[in-house]
């Protein structure tokens, strides 16, 4: 069976709590994650612009680790499609082009208005907010999902977040429904 494949937009890779959860689920084979070098450039550039105290070498290391640990994640050869595509924001055409070439089922993005259904439907692609996407993944594989959340939380050695603090972080980055659903499982995460 071919797993569900999602192209991760830069705005879901920028916030570490969203990125960590999506990547842990991808590494656990809940879904197949894809992105491009251009998407990497976009999220890392935004992070460094908004948080100039960040060490560029550490961000480059995170990027390299993402590529190494996530099977078949990098989409290439999509640039030729960009001029033929139409989206409300022409700067987002590279995302749709990569989703087409990467044979993705959906684009996970916080900018749903930039990826309207009528523009994606001809390619068999939909857009989903990360909160909706994660809730769907939790429904499909609850045990793996909860285990992934626990791994992430326990990996945060510097901050040592309690389950409630971790869920507050998810809420803060816009994963309101996901955090709410996970609150029922605070004793196992």
Domains plus CATH for the chain?
5-134 (3.40.50.1010), 141-185 (no CATH)
pTM greater than 0.85: yes
Q: What is the mean pLDDT of residues 100-123?
A: 97
Query: Per DSSP, what are the bridge partners of residue 5?
Result: 32
Residue 151 CB contacts under 8 Å (≥ 6 apart), including other chains: 24
Per residue in 56-73, pLDDT (tens digit) is 999 999 999 999 999 999
Measure the CA dihedral 130/3/61/138, to 10°.
40
Q: Pick the closest to residue 36 from 91, 66, 76 (CA basis).
A: 76
* Ordered strands of the 106-108 beta sheet: 32-34, 5-8, 106-108, 126-128
Residue 60 CB contacts under 8 Å (≥ 6 apart), including other chains: 44
For Cα atoms 15, 126, 71, give the angle at the middle one, nearest 5 degrees: 60
**Which pLDDT does position 2 carry in this prediction?**
60
How would you classify the pairing of strands 32-34 and 106-108?
A: unpaired
Cβ(112)–Cβ(127) below 8 Å: yes
**Which pLDDT does position 160 carry in this prediction?**
82
Q: What is the mean pLDDT of residues 106-130?
A: 97
Q: What is the mean pLDDT of residues 93-120?
A: 98
Average confidence score pLDDT of the chain: 95
**Which pLDDT does position 3 carry in this prediction?**
80
**Which pLDDT does position 1 carry in this prediction?**
53
Per residue in 29-63, pLDDT (tens digit) is 999 999 999 999 999 999 999 999 999 999 999 99
Per residue in 134-176, pLDDT (tens digit) is 999 999 999 999 999 999 998 886 668 889 999 999 999 999 9
């Amino acid at each position: 069976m071919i797993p569900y494949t999602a192209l991760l937009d830069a705005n879901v890779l920028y916030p570490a709590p969203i990125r960590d959860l999506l990547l842990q689920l991808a590494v656990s084979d809940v879904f197949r994650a894809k992105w491009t070098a251009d998407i990497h450039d976009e999220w890392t550039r935004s992070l460094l612009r908004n948080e100039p105290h960040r060490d560029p070498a550490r961000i480059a290391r995170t990027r390299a680790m993402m590529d190494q640990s996530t099977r078949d994640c990098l989409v290439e050869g999509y640039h030729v499609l960009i001029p033929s595509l139409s989206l409300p924001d022409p700067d987002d055409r590279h995302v749709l082009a990569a989703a087409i070439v990467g044979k993705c089922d959906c684009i996970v993005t916080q900018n749903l208005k930039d990826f309207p259904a009528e523009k994606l439907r001809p390619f068999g692609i939909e857009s989903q907010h990360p909160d909706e996407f994660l809730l769907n993944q939790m429904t499909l594989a609850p045990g793996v999902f909860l285990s992934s959340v626990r791994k992430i939380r326990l990996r945060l050695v510097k901050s040592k977040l309690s389950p409630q603090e971790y869920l507050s972080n998810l809420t803060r980055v816009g994963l309101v429904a996901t955090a709410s659903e996970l609150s029922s499982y605070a004793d196992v995460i």
